[in-house]
Amino acid sequence: MFVPSILLKQLYTHGSLTKTDNGISFSLKNRLKDATIKELKWISLDGEKIAPHKISLQLSTDNSVSVNELNEGPGTPFSLRQTITVHVALEQEVSPEKRKLGVCFSASPFGKLKFEVEDNVTEPSSRTTHIPRDDLDDYSETMVKKRQAYFESATGAKVNHVGKYSINPNDLKGNIEHFIGVAQVPIGIAGPLKINGEHAQGEFVVPLATTEGTLVASYNRGMKLLNMSGGVTATVVDDAMQRAPVFIFSNARGARDFVKWIKQNIDKIREEAEATSSVAKLTYIDNFLSNKFAFLRFNFRTGDAAGQNMVGRATFAACGWILDNYEGIENFYLESNFATDKKASQINIMRTRGKRVTAEATIKREHLLQVMRVDPKQIDYHGRVAAVGSFLSGVNNTGLHSPNGITAMFIATGQDVANVSESSAAMMYSELTDDGDLYVSITIPSLIVATYGGGTGIGTQRECLELIDCYGRDRVYKFAEIVASVVLAGEISLASAISSSDWVSSHEEYGRNR
C-alpha cells in the first residue's frame, strides 16, 4: 500500500527527541490506521545507521522489547493513535541544531515504510510544575487522581462533583486529554414529537441538555402543536464534509494549469483519498483560483461519523500523492480556512457542510389559536417584519433560535458542540394557505451530526442516542431529521410567544431561579 512521504513523516512526534540517562529517545505515533509492525529494519542519525543492539522499543508502561525480540516475533500490534517510545543507547548532547533522524520498518498492511525527519535533541522535562501525564497510560485511575490533586493544589479548591462519574476513563482515549472528571449538564425530555421522515418515522421523546429555563417547556409546547396537525415532514437533501487545502505557485498561470491537471487526475486522487478509510467517499472537488493560489475544496460522504478528522486524513493522503506527482508547487497547506471548520460561512450555506435537511409542517389555524393563542396571520406578518431585521443585521439565520435546540441535543448526544457554529445557519420560511392555515419550513444547510464515533459512544451520550434509536451505523440521516424537526418545534413555539406577547411572561414563570 503506497503511503505518501508527507503522510509518513506524521508518524514521528516532533519535539520528542530527548536526551535520557542512557542516550536519547523519541516517539512514534500511529496516525494512519491499525497496523502490525513486522520488522524494524534500521534507525539512523545524521545518515549513520545505529547498531540494533543499542535500540529498544517501549510499547507500554511495563512492556519493552529489543529489536531482535520484535523482529523474531509474530508481529507487534501498532494500533491507531498508539504511541511507541524508541530508546537509543547513544550519548548525544542537547543542542538547538537540527539532526536528521531516519526510520525504516515493515508493517502490515503497508509493507516497507521509510522516512526521514529533522529535530533537535532537547532536555527531558521534569514536569514538576506541569500537569501530570503518562505518555503510555494517561487514563489510569492513578493518573486521574494525580491530576485532580494537582488541580486542587494549583487552585486551592476541591474537586468534588467534577470527580464523580460512571464512565471508564480508558474509554476516553481520543476524546479528551488530561482527564480529571466530568461536567454534569441537566437533561430534560420533550415530546413525543411525530415525525414523517424518510428515515425518522414515528413518535420520538427527545433528550435536551440545558441550564436555560423555559427551553424544554417551549420545545415541548411546539411539539404538542405540531402533533395536533399531523406532525413534521423531514427530508435530508444533501450530504458533504470538506477539507480545503491550498496550493501556492509562482504565478496565476501555474495555479490555473494545476487545476486542469487535478480535473484530469480526479480518479487517481479519489483512489488515494479513499484508501485511508472504508467509509470516506470523495464525491467531488471544487476549485477556486485567486492570485497565485489554487484552493481545492474536497467534498466527502462520511457515513455515520461527522467526519472532520476522517476527511482531513483522506485529503492529506490525496495531497501527498499530488505533491509527489506534480512539479511546480511552491508551498502547500492542508487547510486554507476555506472549509470554514467551526465557523459560520456563506459558502457552507450555499454548498452544504454536514447534512442539509429541511423540516416542514402545515399547522391548522384552530390549533394555533387553541394552543398558542395566536392567529396564523400574526405569525406570518411578524415573520415578514423579522426578515427585514435579519437583512439589516446580516445574520446567517432568518429564524429565531435554532441553535437552542441544536445545542441542547448536541450536548445530550455527544456531538462536537463547536459545530453549532456552522449548524446555526438556517432559512425559515412561512406562508398562509388558502384555508387560512400556516405552512412553516426550516432548512438547516450545514448540520454536522454523528451517530457513530467521536463522543457518541460515551456513557450518557450513547444512552441518549439509544433512547431515540439513533446510536450506531446507518442512523445519521434519521438523527438529522429528528434534529431538524425539533428545531421547527422550537421555532413555532417562540414565534407564537413573541407574536402573542407571551415571551416575557413565560420566562418569568419558568426561567427564573432567583
Q: Catalogue the active-site residues.
A: 212, 416, 507
Q: What residues are paired with 197 via a beta bridge?
A: 234
Largest CA distance in the chain: 87
Euclidean distance between the first and final Cα of the chain, in Å? 63
Cell numbers representing residue 314 in the block: 483522506
Peptide bond into 186 cis (omega under 30): no
Nearest CA to 280 out of 298, 300, 266 is that of 300
CA–CA dist 207, 225 (Å, integer)? 18
Strands 187-197 and 201-209: antiparallel
Angle at the Cα of 453 (from 447 to 456), degrees rounded to 5?
75
Phi, psi of 147 (to 5 degrees): -70, -35
Nearest CA to 28 out of 108, 70, 110, 87 is that of 87
Whose cell is 480508558? That residue is: 170
CA–CA dist 481, 233 (Å, integer)? 9
Cell numbers representing residue 421 in the block: 457554529
- DSSP of 164-210, one letter per residue? ---S-GGGGTTT-SS--------EEEEEEEEEEESS-EEEEEEEEE-
> How many CB atoms are located within 10 Å of the residue 258 CB?
19
Nearest CA to 351 out of 295, 416, 302, 285 is that of 285
